[in-house]
Chains A and B, each alone.
Chain A
Amino acid sequence: MEEYDSEKKMEKENLGPRMDPPLGEPEGSLGWVLPNTAMKKKVLLMGKSGSGKTSMRSIIFANYIARDTRRLGATIDVEHSHVRFLGNLVLNLWDCGGQDIFMENYFTNQRDNIFQNVEVLIYVFDVESRELEKDMHYYQSCLEAILQNSPDAKIFCLVHKMDLVQEDQRDLIFKEREEDLRRLSRPLECSCFRTSIWDETLYKAWSSIVYHLIPNVQQLEMNLRNFAEIIEADEVLLFERSTFLVISHYQCKEQRDAHRFEKISNIIKQFKLSCSKLAASFQSMEVRNSNFAAFIDIFTSNTYVMVVMSDPSIPSAATMINIRNARKHFEKLERVDGPKQCLLMR
């Protein structure tokens, strides 16, 4: 319990910019980070029943979708997922606003439990919903709970199922919703995205969310650029391990395909699914032809790296040695940045 209190204290002290590591902190203060039994920070994925959260989770995290997606009732129990997401985050999925009185009572009683230790709240709105007032009401009650229990949490709002809106009206409708949500969320700040599982917007929204959650992303990008220039790579990408969302990337020349991040992510996730059927796990991949060579490999404990070399004369072994050496450097980088600030912590 003492560790828990000190954790809370640290929380209040470090409200400043998360970029600078606190001075004087001994390297790797593993003291107050407990092994697996530590209080894990949560990512809450909330929204009305049927707004698309389960499909979204399945797509982003490459899980097989639960059989009964056409549930008649709301999710009564929280869906835990043991996916390690950005270090020590656990994804919790909640349905908000069930019709059942029983459901509402349960929700109210368990509120503190649900909303404590929340790092990120992702709230999903169905753009086709006919009960806008009700949706906003539930959203606001969630915000109240967040304000009480985890005031530092980051709030993201996803206006989902945008493919059901006509193309020429999408911008307009999204702008309206965004203004409403911004207004309702005060004093908390929320970032809004419009998403659909049928185009690249979902992937981009989640990539932005991940990008916002990483405190030292500029530093990472600088190091990545140095790395890329040293090994003479065309492009270097850093992926989050479980979702293959692009955390940062460096490219030395204009690439043609703007959709390549999502495509690579989908290809690898599909491959991971196949691997898991054979009780194997994906570790690395090398793709080579006469024009280029690409290497995908485990990088740090929470990331994968993809290196694209357009000079096929450089032997694979050389690049792989370079990646191995860089790995050590980046792990050190993660650890140096202090256990609290850096979410990419072990």
Chain B
Amino acid sequence: MANVDDKHHLISEVDHEVHPGPMNIQFDSSDLRSKRPFYIEPTNIVNVNDVIQRVSDHASALNKRIHYYSRLSTPADTALIAPDHVVPAPEECYVYSPLGSAYKLKSYTEGYGKNTSLVTIFMIWNTMMGTSILSIPWGIKQAGFTTGMCIIMLMGLLTLYCCYRVVKSRDTIHSLNTTTWEYPDVCRYYFGSFGQWSSLLCSLVSLVGAMIVYWVLMSNFLFNTGKFIFNFVHHINDTDTILGANNSNLVICPSPGSGGHSDNDSMIFYANDTAVQQFEKWWNRSKTVPFYLIGLLLPLLNFKSPSFFSKFNILGTVSVLYLIFLVTLKSIQLGFHLEFHWFVPTEFFVPEIRFHFPQLTGVLTLAFFIHNCIITLLKNNKNQENNVRDLCIAYMLVTLTYLYIGVLVFASFPSPPLSKDCIEQNFLDNFPSGDILSFIARIFLLFQMMTVYPLLGYLARVQLLGHVFGDVYPSIFHVLIFNIIIVGAGVIMACFYPNIGGIIRYSGAACGLAFVFIYPSLIYMISLHREERLTWPKLIFHIFIIILGLANLIAQFFV
């Protein structure tokens, strides 16, 4: 005790006092809570525009308090150790790729992860794989077969290089401790608040675009499922395979002669059957089904924490594997139908090189997108020195998967009776609604999307409301307005413009512009320039990448 006036007593008092533990460093506490570190969770970091991050007063006071209390007792004494409800829980960490999976990642408190290379590679592949698979065959069709294959491989390499730049971007910052940083933090460091806001904007564009695509697809799948069940119950042999091949109703062309999409199958004529007509009226792909989904999904969006939904992550993997199986089976049944015409379209085939190829690059930008959370995914790798190698292997596997599905669907599309131009933006649409295998695929994808949708909504909400209002859940009112806007956008698109290929390529090119093309290259060039290591070849190469990104975006509007 520091008793100022009894100075002459002080020494003897010190002798009498038993000074316990804090001086005795051999003491070890069996209670792990005493070793638990206290850190300021990001929600308490209130001001990110200043150079120094300010922490909320409340969190700072708690930090000081815990610090002080720890000096008052021995490590074995549990009386002054912060209980669980006081120390902030570790932050929930979600990784997501807009059109792939979204799930909660377990964060390792020791600072390094325990995943083997195989697990890391699988996680990267799993996160990237998702509904973008459905549009790849259409993309190949738009670009031409040979061009399409080349573009897939080249885009894979390009996005891989940019991803490599993202992973290495933290190493260029030497003055600060960047171990907890993700890519938006690096952007903020280099570009200030402009970097922060633009990365937020791009992230939101990708998330909202993905959610709109999900809504369109969910309406589609729900419609087809309902139709299948109705037809099955009423034993109606689906006659919309008028345009199918001979006896096999394996593939249909929903809208002959154009890539457009007929919404309500009004070309099918049935006998005067009031039940069927009623069903047609109340179960319409673009007029009614999108609205039924609102009742199902809008409540789910209002949850404060979506950790429940992240448990269903396995559905995504199962859906992709099933799609691969489905495509393999169908292509065995249908056989290959390929003819090579280089520049001139024929009745059944498309030319190998087409001017619509930017549509494919737009789709692929979102298909290969993982730059927002690759740092977090690689953090859990046990052997950090293998990060680059594992990343390359993962990208290679993703490219192979896309090539496999795209090429098989395109090649096995029965061209003599049907034109390759019939390949739909969602290739499952090419199968009749009575086909049981694709029915199963639609069910899987429907459930998977219904579990990922609230997660994406949560991530969009956290990012937008967190930065604009400073609070991730300001009030049920704000959250409800936000959700209604997003759902409304989805419903409107499902009613009037249900072309998922179009939505994917626009949002992909827009959000990819910042995260994939511009920022990695720019940051690399700036860091080299600061170290005086910028050479002309590197400068030209990276400027070329930036130009490619810009061209990608501009071309979407013209082709």
Partners in one complex: yes
Give the B-binding residues of A (Cβ under 8 A). 54-55, 58-59, 61-65, 67, 69-70, 82-84, 163-164, 197-200, 241-242, 256-259, 262-263, 266-267, 269-270, 272-277, 279, 281-283, 298, 301
22 contacts between A and B (CB under 8 A): A58-B80, A61-B1, A64-B18, A65-B72, A67-B74, A70-B79, A241-B4, A257-B57, A257-B60, A259-B61, A262-B61, A262-B64, A263-B60, A266-B65, A267-B64, A267-B68, A277-B23, A279-B10, A279-B11, A279-B14, A281-B10, A298-B4
In the complex, the answer to whether A282 meets B2 with C-beta atoms within 8 Å is yes
Evaluate contact between B4 and A65: CB separation under 8 angstroms. no
Nearest CB on A from B167, distance (A): 38
A55 touches B79 (CB 8 A): yes
Q: Which residues of B contact A241 (CB under 8 A)?
A: 4
CB distance B65 to A67 under 8 Å? Answer: no
Q: Are B1 and A266 in contact (CB under 8 A)?
A: no
| B1 x A270 contact (CB < 8 A) | no
Report the separation of the CA atoms of residues A283 and B83 in the bound assembly, to the nearest whole angstrom.
Answer: 34
- Distance in angstroms between the alpha carbons of A283 and B17 in the assembled complex: 21
Bitwise, B1-14 to A at CB < 8 A (1) or not (0) is: 11111010011001
Which 4 residue pairs spanning A and B have beta carbons closest together?
A: A259-B61, A266-B68, A198-B86, A65-B73
A83-B5 Cα distance, complex, nearest whole Å? 11
Interface contact A197-B57, CB-CB below 8 Å: no
Q: Tell me if B72 and A59 are in contact (CB < 8 A).
A: yes
Tell me if B538 counts as interface (CB < 8 A to partner A): no
**Contact residues of B with A, CB < 8 Å?**
1-5, 7, 10-11, 14, 17-20, 23, 57-58, 60-62, 64-65, 67-69, 71-74, 77, 79-80, 82-83, 85-86
**CB closest chain-B residue, reference A264:** B64
Q: How far is the CA of A61 from the CA of B68 in the complex (A)?
A: 12
Contacts of B68 in A (CB 8 A): 59, 266-267, 269-270
Q: Which of B1, B72, B82 contacts A198 (CB 8 A)?
A: B82
The answer for the CA separation of A331 and B205 in the assembled complex, in Å, is 67
Q: Using known A-B contacts A198-B83, A258-B57, determine if residue A64 contacts B73 with beta carbons closer than 8 Å.
A: yes
Known: A62-B1, A257-B60. 15 other contacts (CB 8 A): A59-B69, A62-B2, A64-B20, A64-B72, A64-B73, A65-B80, A67-B74, A69-B77, A84-B3, A164-B85, A262-B65, A263-B61, A274-B71, A276-B2, A281-B2
- B2–A266 contact, CB under 8 A? no
State whether A270 and B82 are in contact (beta carbons under 8 Å apart), knowing that A65-B77, A258-B57, A279-B10 are contacts in the complex.
no
Among candidates B7, B60, B82, residue contacting A281 with C-beta atoms closer than 8 Å: B7
Residues of A within 8 A of B64 (CB): 262-263, 266-267
**A69 contact set on B, CB distance < 8 A:** 77, 79
Cα A197 to Cα B19 in complex, Å, equals 23
Chain B residues, Cβ within 8 Å of A257:
57, 60
Expressed in whole angstroms, the minimum distance between the Cβ of A297 and any Cβ of chain B is: 12
Contacts of B65 in A (CB 8 A): 198, 262, 266
Q: Which residues of A contact B86 (CB under 8 A)?
A: 163, 198
* Cβ contacts under 8 Å, B5 to chain A: 84, 301
Q: Are A277 and B19 in contact (CB under 8 A)?
A: yes
